[in-house]
Amino acid sequence: MERDFYWVRLGDVPQWLIETPTRGSGEAFDEPWMFADGRVLDEPGEMKALIATPGKRRAFIFSVIERAPIVTQAIANVFQALAPDDVQLFPVMVEGEPDPFFVVNATKVIDCIDEARCREVHHADEDDSSPEREEEYRWIYGLRIDPSKTEGAQVFRLKKFKTAFIVSEDIKNALEGVGNLGVSFERVTGALEPH
C-alpha cells in the first residue's frame, strides 16, 4: 500500500512571524537559506531568531523569508522519534521566549516529483543561466509526487523544488496530535482534488 505524503506550508491562521535564524551574535549566516537546502549541515552553534511580527505563538512555523522550519520541543520530539535519519534539530532561542525552540533541517533531497500528474508547473526562467537553477521549478500548483520513489524517508525536500517541505502521513498525524500549529498540510499523493 502506498503511503500518503504532505507539503507542509505556512498556515492561514493568526500567528506570530519569526525572522530567519542568525548566529547568537546576531550576525547572519553566509547561507541563510541553508535550512531549506536539504543537506546535512555542520553544527551551526548558538542561534537566535527575532520576532518579525508579534502574534499568536505557535508550535510549528516557518521563518518569514528563508522558510526555515522552527518548532517547539514537543514538535521536535515528533521529528526525533519518527524521522531521526531524515532531520537535524538545531536549538534556536526565539526572542522573549523562555522555552527552547529548534530549527528542523530536512537532510534528504529526493527526486520524486510526478510532473505529469501536477496541476500546473512553472519552470525557472530560461533567461536565468545559473547552472544551479537549471531545470528547477519556479512554482508547482497541485504538486504530486510518486510515493514509490521516496526511499522510505519520512521527511524530505524535493529535487528541483526545495521550497517544498514534505512529511509522511505518520508525521502529519503526530504533529496534529501536538496541535497549535502555524502550518497546514497539502496532500501531494493520490488523485488531484477538483478546484
Percent of the chain with pLDDT over 90: 85
Roughly what angle, to the nearest 10 degrees, separates helices 73-82 and 169-178?
160
Question: Which residues of the chain carry a pLDDT beneath 50?
Answer: none
Q: Phi-psi region for residue 160, left (φ > 0), alpha (ψ -120 to 50) or beta?
A: left
Residues belonging to the chain: 195
| DSSP secondary structure code for residue 74 in this structure | H
Specify the residue for cell string 549566516: 29
Integer Cα distance of 23 and 78 in angstroms: 25
Residue 72: partners with Cβ closer than 8 Å, 6 or more residues away:
59, 60, 99, 100, 101, 102, 178
Distances 25 to 28, 32, 47, 145, 148 between C-alpha atoms, Å = 9, 15, 8, 40, 44
> How many other β-carbons are positioned within 10 Å of the β-carbon of residue 109?
17
Q: Phi-psi region for residue 142, left (φ > 0), alpha (ψ -120 to 50) or beta?
A: left
Residue 158: partners with Cβ closer than 8 Å, 6 or more residues away:
109, 110, 111, 112, 113, 145, 164, 166
Residue 75 identity (one-letter amino acid): I
Quote the pLDDT of residue 127: 57
Quote the pLDDT of residue 66: 87
How many Cα neighbours within 13 Å face the side chain of 58?
27
Residue among 145, 191, 192, 148 nearest 1 (CA): 148
